[in-house]
C-alpha cells in the first residue's frame, strides 16, 4: 500500500501569555518566580527567532522560483 502524500498545515496552539506572566512575577516580588518567568520567556523568544529564520529562508527560496 502506497503512502498518502499530505500537505502540512499551519498549526497554532495557545501561546503562553508571557507579558501577563512577567507582570505577575514582578508584582509578586518573589525572586524564584521572576527568574522562572524570565527563563521561560527567553526560551520562547529564542525558539521563535529560530523558527522565523527558518521561515524567512523558506520564503526566500520559494520567492526566487517565481
Residue with cell 520564503: 59
What pLDDT, on the 0 to 100 scale, is given for residue 54? 97
Which tens digit of pLDDT belongs to each residue from 9-66? 556 555 556 788 889 999 999 999 999 989 988 998 999 999 999 999 999 999 887 6
Query: Got the DSSP string for 17-56?
Result: -HHHHHHHHHHHT-HHHHHHHHHHHHHHHHHHHHHHHHHH
pLDDT at 7 over 60: no
Find, among 39, 3, 1, 47, the residue nearest to 21 by Cα. 39
Do 31 and 39 touch, CB atoms closer than 8 A? no
The pTM score is: 0.64
Q: What is the pLDDT of residue 48?
A: 93
Amino acid at each position: 500500500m502506497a503512502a498518502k502524500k499530505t500537505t502540512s498545515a499551519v498549526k497554532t496552539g495557545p501561546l503562553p501569555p508571557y507579558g501577563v506572566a512577567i507582570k505577575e512575577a514582578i508584582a509578586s516580588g518573589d525572586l524564584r518566580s521572576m527568574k522562572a518567568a524570565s527563563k521561560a520567556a527567553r526560551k520562547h523568544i529564542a525558539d521563535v527567532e529560530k523558527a522565523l529564520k527558518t521561515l524567512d529562508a523558506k520564503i526566500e527560496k520559494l520567492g526566487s522560483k517565481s
